[in-house]
Amino acid sequence: MASEITTHATEEGTIVLTIAFTDDTSTAVAPDTLTWSLTDRAGTAINERTDVEVESPSSTETLVLSGDDLAISENVDVVRVLTLKWTYDSDAGNDLPANDEFYLHIDELLSVS
């Protein structure tokens, strides 16, 4: 089940998200690989943000979404789904897969669309 990001973004604005990664024992871990995607709730890619690779990820990453990432049109939902996929090493094994998903709500502004 996806988690809710409690801070709302504003339409065509900027939001800075800080993401902390943990292993199977809830210990901070730097992923070996990390990709992220941004979609609407139907799974349609937003602003061509599909499987965006983060080079040399650390245990805490900052992700900036802005402009077209947060644009709203008549046919676009005001909720974005941020999907993260990563692999990590721990005492349980190497190249272990992990995934997470977050809902981000966008506040529509009357004078922007």
Domain boundaries, the chain: 3-107
Q: Phi and psi at residue 68, in whole multiples of 5°?
A: -65, -20
* The domain over range 3-107 is classified in CATH as 3.40.50: no
> In degrees rounded to 5, what are phi and psi of residue 67?
55, -120
Backbone angles phi, psi at 108, to 5 degrees: -75, 135
pLDDT by position in tens, the chain (length 113): 567 888 999 999 999 999 999 999 999 999 999 999 999 999 999 999 999 999 999 999 999 999 999 999 876 679 999 999 999 999 999 999 999 999 999 998 877 76
Q: Which residues of 15-28 are buried (b: 16+ CB within 10 A; e: fewer)?
A: bebebebebeeeee
pTM equals 0.90
